[in-house]
Amino acid sequence: MAVLNYDAQDEKKGLTVWDKLTSQEKEEVFTFCEGYREFLDRGKTEREVTGEVVKMARDKGFCDLWEKKGLKPGDRIFSVNRNSEIVLAVVGRQPLENGLGLVGAHIDSPRIDLKPEPLYQDGPLSLFKTHYYGGIKKYQWVSIPLSLHGVVARQDGTIAEIRLGDQPGDPVFTITDLLPHLAKDQMEKKMSEGIVGEALNILAGGIPVEGDGVKHRIKQGVLNHLRDKYGIVEEDFISAELEAVPAWPAKDVGFDRSLLGGYGQDDRVCAYTAVRALLDMGDNLERTAVVLLSDKEEVGSTGNTGMQSAFFENFVAEMLAARINSYSDLLLRRTLSSSYALSADVNAALDPNYEEVMDKLNSARVNRGVVITKYTGSRGKSGSNEASAEFVARVRSIFNSAGVYWQTGELGKVDQGGGGTIAYLLAAYNMDVLDCGTAILGMHSPFEVAGKADIFMTYRAYRAFLKNI
Ligand code: MN
Ligand code: MN
């Protein structure tokens, strides 16, 4: 059997996935990544990604589980949770209690959320107060163009959708930074304190309305605009989810276009590749294949759309009920505990500018294949889900047989830091789980970078796993 991971010999020779691909495969890589680039631009929030995935799935013959009466092998279904989380499945021939093949990614990304009472006026300007979401380096989010995405729920139950700043001709939003001329004190602070959370205020407008009786004439100007354009009033902000994200589109990076840069690749790169893998799957599967795209991973997978909610478990229960007409709690437990999962999330790529934070022997590199991460966690593997030796061997064997170039990675040097994924929550069902995803440069920044050969290998990896596990 060919061994397709990178060993010491490849390392010495400096080989990458590009060295291993035929010219036809290289074409495939670029074509695949065009679709991914467009997906990144269409889906900049968990809601938008959910909507996009529903469209992609319906185009490929998937329908909502609720529209189905009974389930048979070959059926293609999905279920959406609160417009922000989605699970899709292709039903296999085996009984569900033999276990599912699951790829689980997340579709929320670090960003700047508006507060419930966001709008205020300060002198000649109107601004939004914000509370950032997820692990950001705050200094990266000032002085860049931001677009505003999300929904505002009116009291009567209707929804105003806002998506402003991405299209040519749209205005954008921004958070200003202090000019260097007057930044003497700021520049002497620690980087973590140079920009503080309460200073991440977004510029929203500056033209006053006429009238002597109006208290905050510039804020009122913005409110009037929101009323006229979106039909919303100030109190509606309390029932809104408005997210400021980088306004720029995803772009090819480098003369040879070998890299792709853009916002939200953690974890939409794994979400897109997993969905494509499932959509491209024939309907002749042994084991039922499932792709789960969850929300709220960046804040600990909490809440009713996070991995900790019962949504996924309930979906499996509904599938069982629809498949066999004799649902039992025991069958649900058997189904979950005999399942196999890839926790599809990104890992850090070794950055030539910051090599000192990584153990070179155990870090992932750009364009050296999809990354297998046996355990995540930090400081003594704390908080990690460690995959068993046996399960890693099984996944390795599937990848090697399917032409998937892969590498291993660990998130940084021991005691340098670390991070987690949804793996430990899947493992809580007693299923086998392995972290597996794309290596990223500049993770959590407004412009994350991934290698195109890695993106394609991630797709190939998920497809091989769902087909053969
Ligand atoms: Mn992630
Ligand atoms: Mn993350």
| Cα–ligand 2 centroid distance for 458 (angstroms) | 17
Distance from residue 235's CA to the centre of ligand 1 (Å): 33
Residue 211 has pLDDT above 90, yes or no: no
Question: Do 300 and 183 belong together in one domain?
Answer: no
pLDDT at residue 458 is higher than 60: yes
Kindly tell me the sign of the dihedral angle through the C-alpha atoms of 246, 250, 253, 259. positive
Mean pLDDT of 102-117: 98
How does pLDDT run across 277-326, given as a tens digit for each residue?
999 998 889 999 999 999 999 999 999 999 999 999 999 999 999 988 77
Mean pLDDT of 250-267: 98
**Domain membership flag for residue 251:** no
Asked if residue 453 belongs to a domain, the reply is yes
Looking at the fold, whether 97 and 117 belong to one and the same domain comes out as no
DSSP H or E stretch at residue 215? none
Distance 345 CA to ligand 1 centre (A): 5
Q: 414 and 375 share a domain?
A: yes
CATH number at residue 39: 3.40.630.10
The ligand whose atoms approach the alpha carbon of 345 most closely is 1
18 and 63 belong to one structural domain? yes
Q: Which residues constitute the domain of residue 448? A: 8-109+263-468
User: Is the pLDDT at 342 greater than 60, yes or no?
Assistant: yes
> Model-level pTM?
0.97
Q: Are residues 301 and 411 in the same domain?
A: yes
Tell me the pLDDT tens digit for each residue of 400-446.
999 999 999 988 889 888 888 999 999 999 999 999 999 999 999 99
Are residue 320 and residue 379 in the same domain, yes or no?
yes
Q: Which of 139-148, 161-170, 205-214, 428-437 has the lowest mean pLDDT?
A: 205-214
Ligand 2 centroid, distance to 218 Cα (angstroms): 37
Q: Residue 3: pLDDT band by 50, 70, 90 thresholds?
A: low
- CA 142 to ligand 2 center in whole angstroms: 20
68 and 173 belong to one structural domain: no
| Final residue in a domain of this structure, among 213, 246, 279 | 246
Does residue 322 form part of some domain? yes
In a domain, 2, yes or no: no
Does residue 45 share a domain with residue 189? no
Quick check: helix, strand or coil at residue 18? helix
Asked whether residue 257 is domain-assigned, the answer is no
Q: Are residues 427 and 337 in the same domain?
A: yes
pLDDT at position 1 is 47
Encode pLDDT of 358-400 as tens digits: 998 899 999 999 999 999 888 898 888 999 999 999 999 999 9
Q: Does one domain contain both 232 and 128?
A: yes
- Stretch among 3-17, 124-138, 270-284 having the lowest mean pLDDT: 3-17
Which residue, 221, 246, 271, sits at the end of a domain?
Answer: 246
Domain endpoint, select from 246, 276, 301: 246
Q: Would residue 129 count as lying in a domain?
A: yes
| Residue 133 resides in a domain | yes
How many independent structural domains does the chain possess?
2
Q: Which ligand is nearest to the CA of 298?
A: 2
Residues 345 and 426 in one domain: yes
Q: Percentage of the chain with pLDDT > 70?
A: 99
207 belongs to a structural domain: yes
Do 57 and 148 share a domain, yes or no? no
The CATH number of the domain holding residue 158 is: 2.30.250.10
